Amino acid sequence: MKNIILIGMPAVGKSTVGVVIAKRLGYEFIDTDLLIQKQEKRLLREIIEEEGIEGFLKIENQVNISIEADRAVIAPGGSVVYCEEAMEHYRKIGTIVYLRASYETINNRIKNAKSRGVVLKEGQTLKMLYDERGKLFRKYADIIIDEEGKTLEEIIENALVILAE
């Protein structure tokens, strides 16, 4: 199976970049946050509020490991890197691309992490989350694309060139 899985922090542009790459390659686009919301009939933040972080991650893992795709660009939520089974599944079905932006860029883009459905532990700051997840993104990434100082078009072109290699 030939899929492209985009990982990275919330607000890094996984969905925006993913949709354009999918269109350019003639691939399907799958946003797993939307699949979770559809399955659960609740917003991400409601699931986190009602089920807690562990409950949410269990649902996220289940939805992600159930994806059977070929020639798709898949954009999972940023917390998918806490779901080892899901990440192993993605390793088997495609190329994992880490879209990396600086903490400052992410912080400027995210106005309210909780209302956005970002998985933050009690007392955890966005910076702490950024540092913690960064290690996991690098661990699972086949390819890292640095977004700093690049336009959306440059990021997409860069990704397409690297993926064609």
pLDDT digits (tens, 9 = 90+) for 117-139: 677 788 888 899 999 999 999 99
What are the structural domains of the chain?
Answer: 3-156 (3.40.50.300)
Report the amino acid identity of residue 51. E
The radius of gyration of the chain from alpha carbons, rounded to an integer in Å, stands at: 15
Q: What is the pLDDT of residue 85?
A: 97
Tens digits of residue pLDDT in 103-112: 999 988 887 6
pLDDT band at 80 (very low <50, low <70, confident <90, very high): very high
Overall average pLDDT of the 154-163 stretch: 92
Taking a C-beta distance cutoff of 8 angstroms, is the pair 136, 83 a contact? no
pTM of the shown model? 0.92
**Whether the Cβ atoms of residue 125 and residue 112 lie closer than 8 Å to each other:** no
Q: What was the pLDDT predicted at 113?
A: 67
Task: Output the pLDDT for position 116.
Answer: 63
Report the distance separating Cα 18 and Cα 32, nearest Å: 12
